[in-house]
Amino acid sequence: MRQILSAFAAGLIFGLGLIVSGMINPAKVLNFLDLFGQWDPSLALVMGGALAVGLVGHRFILKMDRPVLAEAFHLPTRSDLDLRLVGGAVLFGVGWGLAGFCPGPAITGAGLGLAPIYVFLAAMLGAMALYRLVMR
């Protein structure tokens, strides 16, 4: 139960971060990616802010024997670089550049009641579910 509450709190703070930073707004995302047009560098600072906190925090957290509420850390263990990683990232980047939504802002945006976000979400979640169904 405490893990459920902590996950909810983490999601709430993450979502607030996406909204406060402006990442929830696809126009800001697309203008960040538009280096050769009306470039808005804001999102570089979103990532910079997140990484500044993340890089320092990880040094301390990963020295802990175990997480506060769980038995062990669940971290990705793979270190190989393959075509799936790069190909998947490129497909994701093309989709991100087309509409300006990545998964976090799209899911957070479900709380805003805007029809275009539900269209994107339905397509994204449908594709994820299909992928998981076919690849397992």
Partner 1 sequence: MDYATSFTPVSALIGGALIGISALMLLALNGRVAGISGIAGQLLAPKSGGRGWRLAFVLGLVAAALLYTLVAGAPQVQIAADTTTLVIAGVLVGIGTQLGSGCTSGHGVCGLSRLSARSLVATISFMAAGIVTVFLVRHVFGG
Q: How far is the CB of 28 from partner 1 (least distance, A)?
A: 5
Total chain residues near partner 1 (CB under 8 A):
118
Q: How far is the CB of 134 from partner 1 (least distance, A)?
A: 10
Binding of partner 1 by 80 (CB under 8 A): yes
Applying the rule CB under 8 A, the residues between 18 and 37 that interact with partner 1 are: 18-28, 30-31, 33-37
Binding of partner 1 by 63 (CB under 8 A): no
Residue 94, H or E segment: helix 83-99
Q: How far is the CB of 18 from partner 1 (least distance, A)?
A: 7
Cβ count within 10 A of residue 121: 16
Binding of partner 1 by 65 (CB under 8 A): no
Of 128, 129, 102, 127, which is closest to residue 117 (Cα–Cα)?
102
Residue 52 phi/psi, 5-degree rounding, is -60, -45
Cβ count within 10 A of residue 62: 9
